[in-house]
Amino acid sequence: MVIVKKLISETNEKRKLLTKENEIYFDKLLIYIRSHLLLSERQSEEVLTEILDHLLSAQAEGKTASDVFGSNPKVYAEEIVEALPKEKKGNLITFGVEILCDIIGWFIIIGAIGRYFTKSDQIYLYSSIINVVAVVAIGSGLLYVILKQLKQGAFEEKMSKRTVVKSGVLGVVTFGLFIAILYLTDELGPLVNITWFTQLGAGSALLLISYLMKRDRTKSY
């Protein structure tokens, strides 16, 4: 991860040297490639760095990105994605668990803060479990949709009205679905006494686990 962060930092700095035309072309490649989470992150960034270095050299000779990589950046980007290896399963699983701990941890902490103000030490067990599952499922679904939108929109000059409307509707529907789940599962299962402070500690513990997993995961890069 240290190497990946360094590559990303170098890419961000070198992008500033591109002409406007070349920067637009390169950014399309960058967005499309980075939106594929299942690809090896390190090798994806290494390829982007190589492309950028090659483009800067060509630019110094008066060439454009279209001259070097072709007039269709989507075709070129798809070829790159096809050639890149997948991320190791172990890394993907670790990353998934890390994100789950992060999402659930924050959800529990927010709930604990709310219960602190309501002065309630009781929760409905089944309702709480369903709510956590709903947060994870909806969050995962939103991530998938966002990445899909990034892939589709990477080569559009500007976001279409249809995409804007779809995104707005998706946001409203998602929010409404979550509220509906909270309402319909408000009082399910036995009541369990858990203080807000205990809940806060549980959420903090999950965030700590997420942090430690991220730290250990980054050492492997």
Q: DSSP letter string over 55-87? A: HHHHHHTT--HHHHH-S-HHHHHHHHHHHSPBP
pLDDT of residue 53: 93
User: Which is more confident, 50 or 174?
Assistant: 50
Confidence grade of residue 57 (pLDDT, cut at 50, 70, 90): very high
Please count the CA atoms within 13 angstroms of the CA of 162 that sit on its side-chain side: 4
How do the domains of the chain map onto residue ranges? 2-83, 89-218
The two tokens of residue 151 are 């892939």
Task: Specify the pLDDT at position 221.
Answer: 52
pLDDT for position 30? 92
Q: What is the pLDDT of residues 73-127, one digit of tens each?
A: 889 999 999 988 888 777 778 888 888 888 889 988 988 888 888 877 788 888 8
Is 51 a residue whose pLDDT tops 90?
yes
Share of the chain above pLDDT 70, in %: 93
Write the secondary structure of 92-139 as one string of H (helix), E (strand) and C (coil).
HHHHHHHHHHHHHHHHHHHHHHHHHHHCCCEEEHHHHHHHHHHHHHHH
- Asked if residue 180 has pLDDT above 90, the reply is no
Mean pLDDT of the chain: 84
Please tell me the pTM assigned to this model. 0.72
Highest average pLDDT, of 1-10, 75-84, 155-164, comes from 75-84
Please tell me the distance from the alpha carbon of residue 13 to that of residue 68, in angstroms, as a whole number. Answer: 21
Please tell me the predicted confidence (pLDDT) of residue 212. Answer: 86
Confidence at residue 48, expressed as pLDDT on a 0 to 100 scale: 92
Residue 71 has pLDDT above 60, yes or no: yes
